Amino acid sequence: MRDTSIILAGFMGTGKTTVGQLLAQRLERPFVDLDARIEERAGKKISAIFAEDGEPRFRELEREAVREIAERRGLVVAVGGGAVIDPANAARLLRGGLLVCLTARPEVILSRVRRETHRPLLEKGDKGRRILELLEQRRARYEALPCRVDTSDLAPEKVADRILQIFRCGGASDRGGREKQPSETRLLEVAVAAVHAAGRHALAHRRRRAEVAQRLQHDVKLVLDLECQRKAEQVIRAAFPNHAILGEEGASPNEAAGCEWIVDPIDGTVNFSHGLPVWCSSVAVRRGGETVAGAVFAPELGDLYTATRSGAARRNGRIIRVSEIARPEDAILATGLAAKTDDRVTSHGVFSALARRLQRVRIMGAAAVDLCHVAAGRLEGYLETSIYLWDVAAAGLIVRRAGGRTEVLEDLGGHRMRYLATNGLVHEPLREVILQALRNAARAAPESA
């Protein structure tokens, strides 16, 4: 990646300049401080630009500098804290190299900038309160960036180590010029950014939940489904423009791509459309047909679930495990009733059979959320007699990495399947009940036809 620039963004006081200089020294590259470049061009300090010309003029100069620097290659660049708030700037910088957003806790930022006098945005009022206000204003933009490193508890040298690891794993080229496959860590970072982009867009516009794109029997497609799919795709495309994408709201196939992304922008759309909080955004990526990273973000529940093929399953950063309940009589299983009328007959039969065997069967209306509850030990199982790949791709990986077991009981074609996930301990007895119920439903089908 000799020609790929490393671009550091993020809030003031997160260490962009210090870390950028370290990276430039290690890689023997030029270092560019974008704010210093702006001051040089303007012939005055940034504080003077704000005071004399106003913030709009500074942002204009910043956009010009971003356009110029994004076209150059082989640099290490530190950009100002507000540069990526402009979507056009962010898009240019993402195309221009590896864009890393440095973050830090508010109290850490305050301790680092408390005595500084060259921060125009902190000149008025209480600095701590102003930092909190600005962070909240910019949070969605920062979180939408595919790669972030928290510098709160790391020395600058360790931050540089982390960025170099990402840089060398994520998109390096071999001697033949072929693109190496990105690391699982890198893929998960992009998956998290994508679910945040989709989920936060839905959350911010939930008052528009009545805007229907298509109304189906027992289901609904919202305008926000389409918008949130685009939000997720924009993040993925910015990081991996040549990867394939398979989504509930459309696909961008690429047979030559090494990775395929699987997106469900709003899982639990009916819940969302009625104002119920049980819904989520889900993004997975598979390589060679195997899911290697996945993220599920349930904004109104405050939960982010993640996993990679070789890493632990986590909820909000903490490792989770499936439950240890081994008797079906003590188990709770979540399920759903298929949206298609013919499938609902089968679903009812299986539901009845399970209800007789389990402590309880629950229907909550969002497959990926239910699966994550299995991973977190809140449920012992999840079953759907007719569900799509994008509903289960990310959450299924999370269940497996939490110690559970998933199984496609039957491939129904068109990315649709019968699917069972459990804590592993109740899998075989539940599987036996379900398969028998399916056989009974199949025998009864001609009689009801």
Q: Which CATH number covers residue 380? A: 3.40.190.80
Give how many domains the chain has, as a whole number.
3
pLDDT number for residue 222: 80
Express each pLDDT in 254-273 by its tens digit.
Answer: 544 578 999 999 999 999 98
**pLDDT of 448:** 44
CA distance linking residue 335 with residue 350, whole number of Å: 10
Please answer whether residues 404 and 322 qualify as being in contact, where contact means their C-beta atoms are separated by less than 8 angstroms: yes
For residues 343-359, average pLDDT: 84
What would the two tokens of residue 292 be?
A: 């290697």
**Residue 53, domain CATH:** 3.40.50.300
Q: Provide the residue type at 19 as one letter.
A: V
Q: How far apart are CA 396 and CA 236, in angstroms?
A: 20
Answer with the one of 116, 137, 169 that is the final residue of a domain. 169
Tell me the one-letter amino acid at 420.
L
Q: Which alpha helices (H) appear in 302-378, and where do they start and end?
A: 341-357, 367-375
Query: Mean pLDDT throughout 109-115?
Result: 84
Strand 250-252, strand 259-267: pairing: unpaired
Domain shared by 374 and 435, yes or no: yes
Residue 175 has pLDDT above 50, yes or no: no
Residues 212 and 308 in one domain: yes
Task: Please determine, for residue 142, whether its predicted confidence score (pLDDT) is greater than 90.
Answer: no
Lowest mean pLDDT among 106-110, 162-166, 178-182, 290-294: 178-182
Tokens representing residue 181 in the block: 């496959």
Same domain, 253 and 107: no
Q: Which residues have C-beta within 8 Å of that of residue 138, sequence separation ≥ 6?
A: 11, 81, 82, 85
Residues 103 and 68 in one domain: yes
Going across the sheet that includes 381-388, the strands are 360-363, 332-335, 381-388, 416-422, 405-413
Strand order in the sheet with 303-308: 250-252, 244-247, 259-267, 280-287, 290-298, 303-308, 314-315, 318-319
Instruction: Identify whether residues 41 and 146 lie together within a single domain.
Output: yes
Q: What is the mean pLDDT of residues 152-165?
A: 88
Please give the Cα distance from 179 to 270 (Å, whole number).
41
The letter for the amino acid at 403 is G
Q: Are 332 and 323 spatial neighbours (Cβ–Cβ below 8 Å)?
A: no
Q: How confident is residue 171, by pLDDT bands cut at 50, 70 and 90?
A: very low
The alpha carbon torsion through 321, 327, 329, 333 (nearest 10 deg) reads: 30
Q: Work out the average pLDDT over 385-400.
A: 96
Out of 140, 169, 198, a domain closes at 169
Do 266 and 147 sit in the same domain of this protein?
Answer: no
Residue 216 CB neighbour total at 10 angstroms: 10
One domain, residues 260 and 358: no
Residue pair 245/251 in contact by the 8 Å Cβ criterion: yes
Least confident interval from 109-118, 216-225, 346-355, 407-416 = 216-225
**Lowest pLDDT segment from 78-87, 117-126, 134-143, 358-367:** 117-126
DSSP 29-55: --EEEHHHHHHHHHTS-HHHHHHHH-H
| Whether residue 335 is found in the same domain as residue 306 | no
Asked whether residue 242 is domain-assigned, the answer is yes
Do the domain assignments include residue 175? no
How much is the pLDDT for 179? 41
In a domain, 340, yes or no: yes
Query: What's the domain range around 402?
Result: 328-448
Residues 236 and 279 in one domain: yes
User: Which tokens is 417 given?
Assistant: 């399947």
Q: Which strands, in side-by-side order, build the sheet including 31-33?
A: 31-33, 76-78, 5-10, 97-103, 148-150
One domain, residues 27 and 135: yes
* pLDDT recorded at residue 173: 34
Alpha-carbon 342 to chain mean position:
34
137, 23: one domain = yes
Same domain, 40 and 114: yes
Q: Mean pLDDT score of the chain, rounded to an integer? A: 86
pLDDT class of 242 with cuts at 50, 70, 90: confident
> Residue 179 domain-assigned?
no
Which helix H or strand E contains 421, and what residues bound it? strand 416-422
Q: pLDDT band for 146, please (50, 70, 90 cuts).
A: low
